Amino acid sequence: MFVANHSSYLDSFAINAAIPRDFSFVSKSEFSKNFLTALPLKRLHAKFVERFDSQQGVNDAKEIANAKQHIQSLFFFPEGTFTRVSGLQNFRMGAFITAVQANMQVVPIAIRGTRSILRADSWLPRHGNITLTIGQAISPASIEEKTDTNWSAAVTLKDTAHQHILRYCGEVDLSNK
């Protein structure tokens, strides 16, 4: 499983250019209801999850974890969305619950530069550089040995991935830990 910060519409293009693996993006369910986003995402075999109903989001994460054997890798933007304001937001738990339940390693990826090239609410790109910093895979099994519950393991995975991404994304920490 891959997780990355999300700061621009360019993020998914940068990821597709940099990671030579088959993976499915996990996307917010609102995109499945919009014709302009639904068709391309469905063709990419995207999985859709609910963001605003916590219980449904957990159920969606469980369903994705159970379907893991049908896909090579999953790709999450755990911030859930991006804004015009620069900074790394708090991560939602779905990706990390999925990782623990399916015993999937988590590879954190810090994306730097896409926000300054194409900001939210803008369609006019600027010149700039994009850098991706790929971290070491984090194994849920090694974390579970040190924690007492799956939830604790998922929180530790989330915090470890967040620290890596914060270190290399070039933005401030806006999470409310």
Q: Which residues of the chain have pLDDT under 70?
A: 54-55, 57-58, 61-62, 65-71, 144, 177
175 within domain boundaries: no
CATH number, domain with residue 127: 3.40.1130.10
**Residue 152's CB: how many other CB atoms inside 10 A?**
14
pLDDT of residue 124: 84
Instruction: Give the range of the structural domain holding residue 89, as residue numbers without chain letter.
Output: 2-169
Task: Say if residues 94 and 57 touch (Cβ distance below 8 Å).
Answer: yes
88 within domain boundaries: yes
Quote the number of domains for the chain: 1
Q: Which residues contact 141 (CB under 8 A, 6 or more apart)?
A: 103
176 within domain boundaries: no
pLDDT of residue 2: 94
174 within domain boundaries: no
pLDDT tens digits along 92-125: 998 898 899 888 899 999 999 999 998 888 788 8
46 within domain boundaries: yes
Q: Return d(Cα 107, Cα 174) in angstroms, integer.
A: 21
177 within domain boundaries: no
